[in-house]
Chains A and B, each alone.
Chain A
Amino acid sequence: MTAKTLYDKIWNDHLVLAEDDGSALIYIDRQLIHEVTSPQAFEGLRLSGRKPWRRSANLAVPDHNVPTTDRQAGISDPISRLQVETLDRNCAEFGITEFAMSDIRQGVVHVMGPEQGATLPGMTIVCGDSHTSTHGAFGALAFGIGTSEVEHVLATQCLVQRKAKNMRVAVEGTLQPGLTAKDVILAIIGRLGTAGGTGYTIEFTGSVIRDLSMEGRMTVCNMAIEAGARAGLIAVDATTVNYLTNRPFAPKGALWDQAVAAWAHLHSDDGAHFDAEVEIRAEDIRPQVTWGTSPEMVLPIDGRVPDPNAEADATRRAGIQRALDYMGLKPGTPLTDVAVDKVFIGSCTNGRIEDLRAAAAVVQGRQRASNVRLALVVPGSGLVKEQAEREGLDRIFREAGFEWREPGCSMCLAMNADRLEPGERCASTSNRNFEGRQGYGGRTHLVSPAMAAAAAVHGHFVDITRL
């Protein structure tokens, strides 16, 4: 038998039908649903009189619109409220399990799924959300889809897909102390560019990836889409299995043993063919900060804001200039001189317990800098929040002048009340620094939780490896 990549194996395991032109019908094991990209899909089912193919394959949670303050009061924005209520109604009508806003298990969909063990190795997982790539950390083929496809999966449990190409990104060596999965993936995106992974499924390998916790691996796969790849993958190992043991949706007893045995093949075979390979040395990675309006516009903290005139290509030069104008930055400014107005710690990239611990470790015993108007900590789920409170992290943040909030997407995309005002600059642990992403006219710099926390207490970006 020819050597296969992990992606090849999962793909083959889910092939229902292959067409002559290269398209294929693949089976979907799990669909995660949230309130923003599902109402029109449920409406489509209703209009065509169709029923969900396999209700139990779906799991829903509201996250994008939910308020992070005073849940008891409900959602004040009537349009947001209607969207969340519509999810509640649709799940009730179609018999789909939902963790509603008041449920302790509620959280950002990509935090909730793995936490519940609803994400399992070898699965195909979809969600109407591009950061579905997160779940690839478990050796699952997970990718974002549009609303028409959400409806398609509800109705048929399948999707029409074309197989992507295989890319391997190996991160070898040893990370400097203080560096995190976020720095690794930002450095990878800096290397590949935001379209470098388009058309590929990226498997992340190498000693650095193997040494990451599941949470770190999720951070890496989460941002595969920011390199253009719909799906990121990491091979299954003992770290994966340990994480999943006894999770509510994970199999138990004899089924668990059978599953764990089957998962042992979820890695790329020696000699498997990759269409593209990239190697990154861990020693070359420094704490990363984005300076522009695309995640590929990223530099090490020791860097300076780039000069558009140094760029030969006209489209790229114009892109850099536009980004600098939007970001209000001057060429040549050291990144450590860039002061921030707000800090956001949370999101499906960095809203898990280890992220909060890393941020709290930096904050402990310090105070939010006087020029920082708001430092927001938004746990990824109700269970993350509960755990953090058990560990006293909420106290550390509160005493330092940070706000401790209820779980949700929050200022990652500012669909709820948490947002930047025009011109405000934010150190954010989220995944996108697009224009307006965190609020109209807002300026986003993507960083790791420790770097965000350090920016909050120093008032500007600092090199955490030198603290």
Chain B
Amino acid sequence: MKAFTRITARVAPLDRANIDTDAIIPKQFLKSIQRAGFGPYLFDEWRYLDHGEPGMDCTDRPLNPEFVLNQPLFAEARILLTRENFGCGSSREHAPWALEDFGIRAIIAPSFADIFYNNCFKNGILPIVLDAKTVDELFTLAGSGHDLTIDLELQTIATQDGRVIPFEIDASRKHRLLHGLDDIALTLQHRAQIEAYEARRRSAAPWLFPDTVPT
């Protein structure tokens, strides 16, 4: 997994609540069996004026000039600022894959949907929860083009005018993200405990461990 330490980048204001994963990456792109290549289709229905299909060359497609990521001021944005319940709906990890492939490294919102929040950490994206008032203040700054510095080690967001905003993140997620650790390898370090649990459980609830299953 990709590590996240510190970035300084433009923040793009996406002023909508309840942005769902169907909007982040529409379902037709979920047919891909790859993990990469979703970036050009990020927010496809809002970003382009035509209807996108997988495999399309997006360089010639008509852009929606109103959409924030199409505006020159935010073309280089690596941080997304948005409203509550970002990433609700489907569990598709294609959503963080598309954000990551596009170049988004951090998302700031008053709240995130649980599954999406979790999926971000698996893909080197830092989701940051701030109170609604601070998010409002950042929206005011962001509209005219603003860079933020996000430091995961210090758990701070610094604005260009010197304001420093602290944020919360739990210790194990922070550790994994800072070092880009492989979650599966970490879990497999507990192989003995998993096996011991299985043995205990097998004797307490043997019906969960049938010798044969229907085929």
List chain A positions with a Cβ less than 8 A from chain B. 13, 16-17, 19-23, 25, 27, 29, 36-37, 39-40, 43, 48, 50, 53, 56, 64-65, 77, 79-80, 82-83, 86, 97, 116, 120, 122-123, 128-130, 132, 143-149, 151-152, 155-158, 160, 162, 164, 194-195, 198-199, 228, 230, 248-249, 251, 255-256, 258-259, 262, 294, 315-316, 318-319, 322, 413-415, 432, 434-437, 440
Contacts of B17 in A (CB 8 A): 315-316, 319
Contacts of B170 in A (CB 8 A): 21-23, 162
Let me know if B151 is at the binding interface, CB within 8 A: no
Name the residue on B nearest A159 (C-beta): B187
Within 8 A of A (CB), among B185-204: 187-188, 190, 193-194, 197-198, 201
A-B contact pairs, 25 of them (CB 8 A): A21-B170, A23-B170, A27-B198, A37-B93, A39-B33, A77-B31, A120-B208, A144-B91, A145-B118, A146-B115, A148-B183, A149-B118, A152-B184, A156-B188, A156-B194, A160-B183, A162-B170, A194-B18, A195-B113, A199-B114, A228-B113, A255-B206, A318-B15, A434-B23, A436-B45
- A129-B90, A319-B18 known, 11 other contacts, Cβ within 8 Å: A17-B193, A21-B171, A129-B91, A146-B119, A148-B183, A155-B187, A198-B114, A251-B210, A255-B206, A434-B22, A436-B45
Contacts A82-B33, A199-B114, A319-B16 given; does A48 touch B89 at CB 8 Å: no
Let me know if B180 is at the binding interface, CB within 8 A: no
Let me know if B84 is at the binding interface, CB within 8 A: yes
Cα of A156 to Cα of B190 in the assembled complex, Å: 9
Q: Find B187's partner among A43, A160, A259, A318 (CB 8 Å cutoff).
A: A160
Q: Find B114's partner among A80, A149, A228 (CB 8 Å cutoff).
A: A228
Cβ contact within 8 Å between B22 and A432: yes
Contacts of B206 in A (CB 8 A): 255, 258
Cβ contact within 8 Å between B93 and A148: yes
Let me know if B133 is at the binding interface, CB within 8 A: no
Cβ contact within 8 Å between A97 and B213: yes
A433 to chain B, nearest CB (A): 10
Cβ contact within 8 Å between B207 and A130: no
Contacts A97-B213, A432-B22 given; does A440 touch B187 at CB 8 Å: no
List chain B positions with a Cβ less than 8 A from chain A. 15-18, 20, 22-23, 26-28, 30-35, 45, 51, 54-55, 83-85, 88-93, 96, 111, 113-115, 118-119, 122-123, 170-173, 183-184, 187-188, 190, 193-194, 197-198, 201, 205-208, 210, 213-215
Contacts of A322 in B (CB 8 A): 16
B47 to chain A, nearest CB (A): 13
A415 to chain B, nearest CB (A): 5
Contacts of B118 in A (CB 8 A): 145-146, 149
Name the residue on B nearest A260 (C-beta): B207
Contacts A130-B89, A414-B27 given; does A50 touch B184 at CB 8 Å: yes
B127 to chain A, nearest CB (A): 13
Contacts A116-B214, A146-B91 given; does A434 touch B114 at CB 8 Å: no
Contacts of A415 in B (CB 8 A): 27-28, 30-31
Contacts of B85 in A (CB 8 A): 194-195, 198, 228
Name the residue on B nearest A30 (C-beta): B208
Cα of A322 to Cα of B83 in the assembled complex, Å: 15
Contacts of B35 in A (CB 8 A): 40, 43
Cα of A39 to Cα of B92 in the assembled complex, Å: 12
Q: Find A435's partner among B45, B51, B90, B187 (CB 8 Å cutoff).
A: B45
Contacts of B96 in A (CB 8 A): 146
Chain A CB count within 10 A is highest, among B91, B190, B210, B213, for B91
